[in-house]
Amino acid sequence: MTIRLPAFDYLTPETLEDAAAALADPDRSVIIVAGGTDVVPKMKRRQMTPEVLVSLSKIESLRGIRRDDEGRCVLGASTTLAEIHGSSLVPEVFASAAGDVASPQIRNTATLGGNLSLDTRCNYIDMSDSWRQASGYCLKDGGDTCWVAPRSNKCWAISSSDLATVALALGGSVKLTSVRGERMVPVEELYNNDGIAYSTQAPDEILVELVLPKDCGRATYQKLRRRGSIDFPLLGVAAVVSFDDAGVCASARIVVGAVASAPLRATEAEEFVVGRSFTKEVLEEAGRLATQSVRPQDNTDTGSRYRKWMVPVFVEQALRAVADTSE
Amino acid sequence: MADHILDFDVNGENRRLLVTDQRTLLEVLREDLVLTGTKHGCDVGECGACTVLVDDRPVLSCLVIARQVEGSSVRTVEGLAIDGAPDLLQEAFAELGAAQCGYCTPGMLLSARALLDDNPEPTTDEIREGLAGNLCRCTGYIKIFEAVELAASRDHDR
Amino acid sequence: MSGAFSVVGERLPRVDAMDQTMGKTQYVDDMTLPGMLVGRHLTSIHAHARILSIDTSRAEALVGVHAVITGADLPITYGILPISQDEHALAVGRVRYVGEPVAAVAAINPEIAEQALALIDVSYEPLDEVVTLEQALETDHPMLHGDGLGQNVHRSAALEFGDVEEGFARADYVREDVFFFGGNTHAALETHVALASYSQTGKLTLWSSTQVPHYVHRTLEKVLELPAGRIRVIATAIGGGFGGKTDPFSHELTAAKLSMVTGRPVKINLSREEVFYAHRGRHPVLMWVKTGFENNGQITSMHFKTFLDGGAYSSYGVASLYYTGALQTTTYRIPNYRFEGLRVFTNKPPCGPKRGHGTPQPRFGLECHLDKAAADLGLDPVTIRQVNAVEPFSTTVNHLRITSCALVECIDKVVEASDFTVKRGRLPSGRGVGLAVGAYMSGAGLPIYFNDMPQSEVQIKIDRGGGVTVYSMATDIGQGSTTMLATVVAEALGLEPRDINMVIADTDLTPVDLGSYSSRVTFMAGNAAVTAGAKIRSRVVQAVADELGVDPAQVVTKGGRVGVSGDLDRCVTWAEAVRLAIAATGPLVESGGYTAPKLAGTFRGAGVGISPAYSYSACVVEVDCAADTGLVKVERVWLAHDIGRALNPLLTEGQVEGGVYMGLGEALYEEHTFRGGLHRGPSLLDYKIPTALDMPPVETFLVESDDPEGPLGAKEVGQGPLLPVIPAVANAIHDALGVRIDEVPITPQKIVAALRNVSRGRPGRIGPETIPDFEFSRLTRVEPPEGFVTP
């Protein structure tokens, strides 16, 4: 237990309003903590040293999964990944992706809101302070260089949330709340492809719930990682498609995760597959098109070349998986 | 940064103690309550050595801010035995050589306990899944799987 | 054969198993002492820099800080090997790797200790960094040890046994290959921890998670300039070692010094990141091998070159270097053999001994090389190994004495159990099987520092109530040495292992054992315990024989009784027997010692590789590889190990399974990688040790060759079984996909890259192409040993 947390004030509001008010404190740096599985390691490594942590754990309304009047699945932000994994109310693809995050212990603590708000990751920043000193503080860390791409003026830290990728493919929306009011934001608009400003959520906003559409079509999530457990995704591909009676693709959403600072829709591949049957050639072409839009960098635990090679493989694999279920 | 009274149950006993906000559950267990059976191998949630049960679910105590467990019930390896009688898992782990250096053992036992409470007759694959967050560097996990299977079968026979 | 024994050969639990599972085992970090302070190290943020100044005044002024020390406070150098004393507990003048300890603080709590570190002002002048083997061999970089510019060669070796050129000349077929083995580390779950307490009477006690309390004792004596008798080192329960806790470490010295300075106990618990920097793990080795064969596969000659990237300090490096050349001959009869090796210094954490010390790298190269040669010769992997297998009770060309050896039986076991011959080349695409073998020492033949004293001593003291206490400095790092000692003593005395009280690894209380490294404990401490146990037994038996009026040869010790063989009524209880013996002959205290036979040749380097016995292993691995992703699933592993005798099959199987696990990790997942001098991922998230979901089933076969000198016939098992696993994986992947990854770890990226090469008409191989053009000098020619028979 050599590595300790820095000092902070820990607030445990019992209502969302109180939490929002605490978060809006203009005088102190305040962040939200739910399960803490992302925030605690980062604070232990001194990647962030907020003065105040606002815990959501006492706010009962943020917990739980339900279907609303329109049959949509509404997941409270404080629902744990284990609860999502075990829920029959949740679209299967989402439940199964939740069950593939990190490790069993982390899934028992980590929350939906935390996973969707997961800070972007990079092996130049998810390091101890002395390591970062040795490397030189990077752009995301108050320095002036992104060590992943030193000539770039943007940060290339990676979106590593499995659920963001799947929620985006499913066409979900999140409800955000703050002292300024409430708003619904499509997951598609929740993220920026920028390792620092990766979220469009304002600092004073709390992610309250995720709403997934009633009908999810045929959906899959294919995740690449080195080990069977614990690891963040090196690549994640979610595909949600529908077919007409003739077996021709009627709609498709293909999202590639963990290759950029946000989950990215492979729009060219989507457009290509719509109106076509999923033949081997079509899948190959879709894989090729999806690859064009992504540029994995050398900032995970495997080489960037490999991740780039794997994009078409996983896109094809994902499309094959959804095609198979239609048989 | 103030001290707060933390009121929770540990191994079936109510405990009240002063903690600072930044204290983790792991620090409280090992340092304040001297329950050193819970180990630590990384401090940042990557090894599973500090696994304890919070409200019957395995969590990584190094990642839990102590005040999060206010009102909860925590179980550590010291609380696995009931009235001094070792848990079936503790016996099976000992009998089958599932502990070599023994350092991952407490965390492993708690993950295994939660698994069996949830699923009394797990398949080997389910055991692997259940223990997938606990790294062991000595055994190659094989004798651990066998010990969980043995404990499950004895529980079934009982 | 185990029928002749009562507890040996039984699947008994560890004697401390219930303590472990009840959470009662005490590791160093579980201890607290009154007034204990927390120590922390400030570590270097430069891979190579001159230290211009260190100002500790701001840190010292912080309330709650009791002491701050720097290299100036611990100026005496040390190192595990007497010939390379090049380490300082805290850097003096220069830092040579990121993470090297520079200063140490003792404070009342971890928070203040951390604040204090931030208040230490170190001014550095960065120096040119030497981070690769190639850079180390260039002449225009600063020398890490010494002044000025020049090559950073730590040590080179060049030995020839027999006539290698003649051997190549008569070969029908000669093949050369180049391989690379990436560096990796132990990653024991427990980080390194030391707790020091210096008393008012001038006595220092150090509790440490060390595999080598004796060497730590000697190092403390040297660096702290305290008499050995004023230092007590206790190795507590150790949360895994694997060679990672086999050096004396900075924190052991700084904790001790801080306790001496402050007069209070000081505990230092290295962070996980600091453990990656303390390292002493597997050397990255680039290697080249050239072998001549006859058409039937018989080896005529072999030339092996290794290039070791040693990191910043010597550690065990000289031994590591020679180990990369020593044991090739223990599995195959090589009539002519040349070894040239080189270890360089680089600005990275120091490498050292990890499970298999210096031998897994050449074993990987050799076993892949043999498979390739077999293919060219039209032989199968089994035949080429059988044709060349060493014979029991023979001598190798490089003067290693082989005693018991069940290599061929091991091969037969795994080949048969796995259906290797049927499966190889015939499984569906993507699936394949691979075979490899290995051998390892049952203890290094020589101690680390020259002396003629026993390598292990064991004492046994019997209480008047019959209680048996065994004293040994052997450290139980999880391998079960304490249980092993209890077992052999219990066997001698007719008791159960759990009846034996074990006092271990305490320099005040226990006689010297050199430590848990080189797989020496079963053989050496075990033999010492057998000797001590036999002495006790014979005194007790004599006393009982006298009492019963029978010939001592008729008396047996069994089941807690001592009496006449075959006549159950004529016996006394063990406790009565003990009292009779004490009454007859005085205090019942005996000791045993073990000194390895003199085995070393007279040439330079002859001390490395000799051992009183070698264990043998053979392994078949079956894999399922996805050609599109390169992901490898190991389906099953079969491993046969010639252990001499399995004193406790449950524990020895556990060692095999653990060795397979670690080998698979090295083969497929784990690598210490650097960007310049900066470790790319010093964490258990980035450094991929396999999880429960990544481990295949293992079928273990224990082969008992009954070694004539082993304790009750036993040999080692802690290290050997790892060796064949790595090349067996590589060979299996070749069988599955037709590609050769001549580089460890075999990552998915390398497999896909090799397959992409194939699809472009290029060779399906990933690996190094060449070795540095280094002129090895002073080839020492050594005549084969007397009576060496060329096959």
Q: Give chain C's mean pLDDT.
A: 97
**Taking CB atoms and an 8 Å limit, are B133 and A103 in contact across chains?**
yes
Structural domain of B129: 88-157
Q: How far is A6 from chain B (nearest CA, A)?
A: 7
Dump pLDDT digits (tens) for C141-175.
Answer: 999 999 999 999 999 999 999 999 999 999 999 99
Say whether C337 sits in a helix, a strand or coil. Answer: strand
Measured CA to CA, the distance from residue A251 to residue A235 in angstroms comes to 23
Tokens describing residue C372: 């390739």
What pLDDT, on a 0 to 100 scale, did the predictor assign at position C2? 39
Q: Which amino acid is at C89?
A: A
In which band, very low, low, confident or very high, does the pLDDT at A326 lie, cut at 50, 70 and 90?
A: very low
Whether A327 shows a pLDDT value over 50: the answer reads: no
What would the mean pLDDT of C329-340 be, rounded to a whole number?
98
Q: Does A5 touch chain B (CB under 8 A)?
A: yes
What would the mean pLDDT of C347-366 be, rounded to a whole number?
98
**Taking CB atoms and an 8 Å limit, are A228 and C694 in contact across chains?**
yes
> Of B76, B51, B119, B37, whose CA–CA distance to A104 is shortest?
B51
B60 in the same domain as B16: yes
Strand residues in C483-549 grouped as ranges (E): 500-504
Write the residue in B43, B68, B129 that is nearest to A36 by C-beta.
B68
Q: Which domains does chain A have, with CATH numbers?
A: 60-118+158-212 (3.30.465.10), 218-326 (3.30.390.50)
Asked whether the beta carbons of B77 and B58 are under 8 A apart, the reply is no
Write the residue in C25, C653, C658 that is nearest to B138 by C-beta.
C658
Asked whether the beta carbons of B29 and B23 are under 8 A apart, the reply is no
Dump pLDDT digits (tens) for A190-242.
Answer: 999 999 999 999 999 999 999 999 988 899 999 999 999 999 999 999 999 99
What pLDDT, on a 0 to 100 scale, did the predictor assign at position B157? 82
| Partner A, chain C 222-281, Cβ-Cβ below 8 Å | 269-271, 273-274
**Taking CB atoms and an 8 Å limit, are B101 and C239 in contact across chains?**
yes
What pLDDT, on a 0 to 100 scale, did the predictor assign at position C182? 98
B111 contacts on A by Cβ (under 8 Å): 104-105
**Helical axes C748-759 vs C725-737, angle rounded to 10°:** 30
CATH at residue B68: 3.10.20.30
Tokens describing residue C412: 């037969």
Dump pLDDT digits (tens) for C393-413.
Answer: 999 999 999 999 999 999 999
Q: In what order do the strands lie in the sheet with C500-504?
A: C500-504, C468-472, C456-462, C589-594
In which band, very low, low, confident or very high, does the pLDDT at C3 lie, cut at 50, 70 and 90?
A: low
Q: How far is C243 from chain A (nearest CA, A)?
A: 23
Q: For the purposes of burial, counting CB atoms within 10 Å of the CB of B17, is it exposed (0-12), middle (13-18) or buried (19 or more)? A: middle
Q: How far is A135 from chain C (nearest CA, A)?
A: 7
Q: How far is B43 from chain A (nearest CA, A)?
A: 6
Neighbour subunits, A (≥3 Cβ pairs < 8 A): B, C
- Helical (H) or strand (E) element with A53: strand A52-55
B28 in the same domain as B8: yes
- What is the number of other CB atoms lying within 10 angstroms of the CB of residue B142? 25
User: Read out DSSP for C252-298?
Assistant: HHHHHHHHHHHSS-EEEE--HHHHHHH---BPPEEEEEEEEE-TTS-
**Taking CB atoms and an 8 Å limit, are B58 and A104 in contact across chains?**
yes
B75 in the same domain as B9: yes
> Of A99, A107, A57, whose CA–CA distance to A78 is shortest?
A57
Radius of gyration, CA atoms only, chain A: 20
Give me the CATH topology for the region C31-127+190-240+245-270. Aldehyde Oxidoreductase; domain 3 (3.90.1170)
Residues in chain B, how many? 158
Tokens describing residue C551: 């010939």
What pLDDT, on a 0 to 100 scale, did the predictor assign at position C4? 84
**Taking CB atoms and an 8 Å limit, are C21 and B91 in contact across chains?**
yes
What would the mean pLDDT of C193-200 be, rounded to a whole number?
97
A128 contacts on C by Cβ (under 8 Å): 271, 273
Dump pLDDT digits (tens) for C364-392.
Answer: 999 999 999 999 999 999 999 999 999 99
- Helical (H) or strand (E) element with A324: helix A304-326
> Of C103, C36, C94, C49, whose CA–CA distance to C74 is shortest?
C103
**Taking CB atoms and an 8 Å limit, are A134 and C692 in contact across chains?**
no
Measured CA to CA, the distance from residue C160 to residue C169 in angstroms comes to 16
What would the mean pLDDT of C90-99 be, rounded to a whole number?
98
Indicate the number of domains in chain B: 2
pLDDT beneath 70, residues of chain B: 1
B74 in the same domain as B8: yes
- C interface test, pick of B53, B136, B137 with most C CB neighbours within 10 Å: B137
B96 in the same domain as B59: no
Q: Which single residue is written with the structure tokens 């036999």? A: C534
- C110 to chain B: closest CA residue: B27
CATH among 3.60.15.10, 3.40.190.10, 3.30.365.10, 3.40.50.12280 for C2-24+453-594: 3.30.365.10
C191 contacts on A by Cβ (under 8 Å): 2
C110 contacts on A by Cβ (under 8 Å): 1-2, 4
Q: How far is B91 from chain A (nearest CA, A)?
A: 23
What pLDDT, on a 0 to 100 scale, did the predictor assign at position B3? 87
Tokens describing residue C135: 């850079």
Domain edge (last residue) among B79, B102, B122: B79
Q: Does A56 touch chain B (CB under 8 A)?
A: no
What pLDDT, on a 0 to 100 scale, did the predictor assign at position A266? 97
B93 in the same domain as B69: no
B74 in the same domain as B31: yes
- C700 to chain B: closest CA residue: B142
In which band, very low, low, confident or very high, does the pLDDT at A324 lie, cut at 50, 70 and 90?
A: low
Measured CA to CA, the distance from residue A290 to residue A236 in angstroms comes to 13
What residue segments make up the domains of chain C, in order of their start? 2-24+453-594, 31-127+190-240+245-270, 360-443+610-767
> Of C204, C201, C198, whose CA–CA distance to C216 is shortest?
C204
**Taking CB atoms and an 8 Å limit, are A2 and C692 in contact across chains?**
no
Tokens describing residue B131: 């223990």
- What is the number of other CB atoms lying within 10 angstroms of the CB of residue B4? 16
User: Given this chain, do its domains C2-24+453-594 and C31-127+190-240+245-270 carry the same CATH topology?
Assistant: no
- A42 to chain B: closest CA residue: B44
Report the largest interatomic distance among the alpha carbons of chain C, rounded to a whole angstrom: 88
A228 contacts on C by Cβ (under 8 Å): 691-694
- Which residues share a beta bridge with C590? C460
**Which ipTM was obtained for this model?**
0.98
Tokens describing residue B33: 């309550």
In which band, very low, low, confident or very high, does the pLDDT at C233 lie, cut at 50, 70 and 90?
A: very high
**Taking CB atoms and an 8 Å limit, are B144 and C692 in contact across chains?**
yes
Dump pLDDT digits (tens) for C263-280.
Answer: 999 999 999 999 999 999
User: Read out DSSP for C733-781?
Assistant: HHHHHS-EE-EES--HHHHHHHHHHHHTTS-SEES-----------PEE
Measured CA to CA, the distance from residue A5 to residue A45 in angstroms comes to 8
- Region of poorest pLDDT, from A73-77, C498-502, C775-779: C775-779
Tokens describing residue C339: 């070894």
What pLDDT, on a 0 to 100 scale, did the predictor assign at position A301? 81
CATH at residue B124: 1.10.150.120
Measured CA to CA, the distance from residue C142 to residue C653 in angstroms comes to 48
What would the mean pLDDT of A44-51 be, rounded to a whole number?
97
CATH 3.30.365.10 fits C360-443+610-767, yes or no: yes
What would the mean pLDDT of A83-87 be, rounded to a whole number?
97
Say whether C590 sits in a helix, a strand or coil. Answer: strand
Q: Which single residue is written with the structure tokens 């784990």? A: C670
> Of A23, A42, A306, whose CA–CA distance to A177 is shortest?
A23
What pLDDT, on a 0 to 100 scale, did the predictor assign at position A3? 94
Whether C771 shows a pLDDT value over 60: the answer reads: yes
- Helical (H) or strand (E) element with C593: strand C589-594
Measured CA to CA, the distance from residue A266 to residue A288 in angstroms comes to 10
